[in-house]
Amino acid sequence: MISFLNPDALIYVYIVLAIYSIVFIYLAFRRKRFMKLIGLKDSLHWYLIQFIKLTALILIVLALSTPVSIHLREKYFFVEEIGSEFKNVLENLTVLHVLIVDESLSMLYTDGNNNSRINYAIDFIEKYLKHVSLNDLVMITGFAENSEIKCIGRSSYCLEKLSSIRAGRNYTDIAGAIDFAKTYADASQYPSVFVIISDGVHNKGKDPFEKIISVKEYYPVLFVRIGLDPRANNFVFRIQESGVRSVSMNVYTNQTVLQQLPIIIDELRLESFIAKKILRIKTMYEEYEPYPILFLLLTSCVLIIISRIEGF
């Protein structure tokens, strides 16, 4: 479909046609009398020249009107800001919260205080579960060299299973644990949230950073760094630089993180619906493709030059 960005300029097309028609009729009448007077037969050449002049003027007016071609395109966008009514609908939907907790030997370290890393991790999980929606499901996976499921069910059920989380196993395969948990999340078909709780130290398996990035393509991810082990600094820095959401639980920050937890959970929950395309909305929009105005102007100039072969 063709349209004009400056349609008001099109009025000049009618003005040009009206004025030129009057001038043309007057000149054609005089020319006809003159040709008859001198006894020559009129030629179509003069009329063609007048048509070229008119075309050149119309092209100039069209260029000033900025012609564009309009194409209807499909566009998908995700609802990120939703009203209270829509929030009530989402509250009744089920999200799977996948909590992956490090049970390796290094989680027994205390970082110079009286609280071990595993205690910080359990404290975080306990507070997390208390803020999870009653309609949601939780899967807690403990890992070191291998991974095992601690619980799958409602948050109230998983709260009773926190005592099964124990640190002290050899090796740490974060990437393997993510793969293990993702298999269940994929099979569930639920919108899912991945929460990885670890001191960040890993000594087995594939690069956990690459695995986290790959999971982020399908699910929102929260990385919870437990403690202050310097061996994890580079790994955590890469996570932060990549845009993956992360928080740090240690003697200095644990209270702040726990206070922010309800907001974090709500945001992760919303992101899970977006990732699952539940909040994807299809819309139509107009795409404007401008015609080459310079080409119209150059064409009109060429026509004007050609028309000077014979004037009025």
pLDDT at 59: 74
> Is CATH 3.40.50.410 the classification given to domain 80-278?
yes
Tens digit of each residue's pLDDT, the chain (312 residues): 566 556 666 677 778 778 878 877 877 777 777 777 777 777 777 777 777 777 777 777 767 776 666 666 665 555 555 555 556 667 778 999 999 999 999 999 988 788 899 999 999 999 999 999 999 999 999 999 999 999 999 999 999 999 999 999 999 999 999 999 999 999 999 999 999 999 999 988 899 999 999 999 999 999 999 999 999 999 999 999 998 999 999 888 889 999 999 999 998 998 888 887 766 555 555 565 665 666 666 777 776 677 666 544
CA–CA distance, 108 with 166 (Å, rounded to integer): 9
On the CB side of 28, CA atoms within 13 Å amount to: 15
Sequence spans of domains, the chain: 2-72+287-307, 80-278
Q: Considering the entire predicted model, what is its pTM?
A: 0.64
pLDDT digits (tens, 9 = 90+) for 190-210: 999 999 999 999 988 899 999
Count CB neighbours of 56 within 10 A. 19
3-state secondary structure the chain: CEEECCHHHHHHHHHHHHHHHHHHHHHHHHHHHHHHHHCCCCCHHHHHHHHHHHHHHHHHHHHHCCEEEEEEEEEEEECCCCCHHHHHHHHCCCCEEEEEEECEHHHHCCCCCCCCHHHHHHHHHHHHHHHCCCCCEEEEEEECCCEEEEEEECHHHHHCCHHHCCCCECCCCHHHHHHHHHHHHHHHCCCEEEEEEECCCCCCCCCHHHHHHHHHCCCCEEEEEECCCHHHHHHHHHHHHHCCEEEEECCCCHHHHHHHHHHHHHHHHHHHHHHCCCCEEEEEEEEEEECCHHHHHHHHHHHHHHHCCCCC
pLDDT tens, position by position, 250-282: 888 889 999 999 999 998 998 888 887 766 555
